[in-house]
Structure formats: structure tokens, C-alpha cells
Amino acid sequence: MYNEIFLALIVSLDTYLAAVAYCNSGIKIPLLSMSVISLISAVVLGISLEFSDFIGSFIPSDLCRICGTVVIISIGIITIFKSIIRSITKHISQKGELSVRSDKYGIVLKLYLDDTAADFDNSKILSATEAAALALASSLDSAATGLSSGFSGINPLTAFLFTFTAGFISIAMGNITGKKISSLKHDFSWVGGIMLILFAFFGI
């Protein structure tokens, strides 16, 4: 159960940071949108865990654990680099030196680098549809983490329930602490990368 809880916390960290960004931008996240974000994140993780368990039935367990460890460490390193890139991109965009195309690939890139970009209509209220777009764009890490973590015997249903609960709580906490965290003017998603690396060494 400890692995499921720790995995849920790792996946929910990005959700918390997104909620912090929204709070700082004055964008409200209604209960329905909170539920949509938490549900999609939990479903993606649960499905990827289930799929990795299926793959594991055809591959020796020791090899699965080694592959899972290597992949999770790689995802952790990528997450740290993504945090650095987001910080640099944010710094450049504040100077007006960066533009993102409005085609479908540009929208995905913008959502990946700027969580608040999901408020497409600038209504300052995140609708359920916008929440779904945000959750899907940020679920790539959840899917990759789930696929590589399933080899460690994590229960998909338990992980789903913990992730949904942790996601909902993380959004609520982001709304409460958003102003204080955002005032630090740093991207803290690198913490998730470090947690993934620790999970690879101690969890698996």
C-alpha cells in the first residue's frame, strides 16, 4: 500500500502545481472541474498500471523490475529537465521574446509548458472541457510512470483510488496555498522528478 500512496503523491504533485498557477492567475476551478482532472489522471494511471501488469506476465519478473527502475529514473531526470525548460521558457516569454503557434501542436506545447493556457476562453473559470484538456495534456507523465511502475506489483485499483483522492486534495490545497507558493517565482515540478528517482530506488 505504501507504494500506491507514494505513487499517487508523485502523480498529484503536477496537479498541485497546476492549481497553484491557476490560483495565482485568478482562475477558479469549480468542483466539477476538480473531479474531472482527478478522475482522468487516476484513470490514465490505473490503465497504464493494468497494461504493464499484462506485459509483465510475458516477461521475467527480474527483467521487469530492472526495466521499470531504469524507465522511472529516466522519467525523473526528464521531469527535472522539463522544470528547467519551463522556467527558462517562462522567463523568456515574460520578456515578450517567445511566441507559440495556435495550431493543434502549438496548443499541446503551450499546455505542456503553461498550465494556465487551458483557460481557452479567458473566462477566469476552468470549465469541465478545459479541465479535461489540461488533464489529458499533463497525463503523459502519469501514463509513462504507470507503465513502468506496474512491474513492481502495485495494485491498479488501489493506485486509482489513492490518485483520485490525492488529486482532488492537491487541487484544493493549490487553491489555498497558491498565492504564497507562486510568490516564490520558481517552478517546483523538479521535486516530482526527484521523488520518482527515490521511488525507483526504494519503492521498486
Q: Write out the DSSP string of 134-150.
A: HHHHT-HHHHHHHHHHG
* Position with higher pLDDT, 183 vs 132: 132
Check if the beta carbon of residue 117 is closer than 8 Å to that of residue 110. yes
pLDDT at 77: 87
C-alpha span between 84 and 88 (Å, rounded): 6
pLDDT at 183: 54
Q: How confident is the model at residue 93 (pLDDT cuts 50, 70, 90)?
A: low
C-alpha span between 125 and 109 (Å, rounded): 21
* Position with higher pLDDT, 204 vs 45: 45
Give the residue-averaged pLDDT of 145-168: 82
Mean pLDDT value across the chain: 75
Q: Which three cell numbers stand for residue 3?
A: 507504494
pLDDT at 161: 93
| Residues 6+ away with beta carbon under 8 Å from 118 | 111, 126, 130, 131, 133, 134, 137
Give the residue-averaged pLDDT of 129-146: 78
pLDDT at 92: 62
Q: The pTM is what?
A: 0.72
Q: Which range is least confidently modeled, 5-19, 103-117, 190-204?
A: 103-117
Give the residue-averaged pLDDT of 122-149: 78
Check if the beta carbon of residue 148 is closer than 8 Å to that of residue 73. no
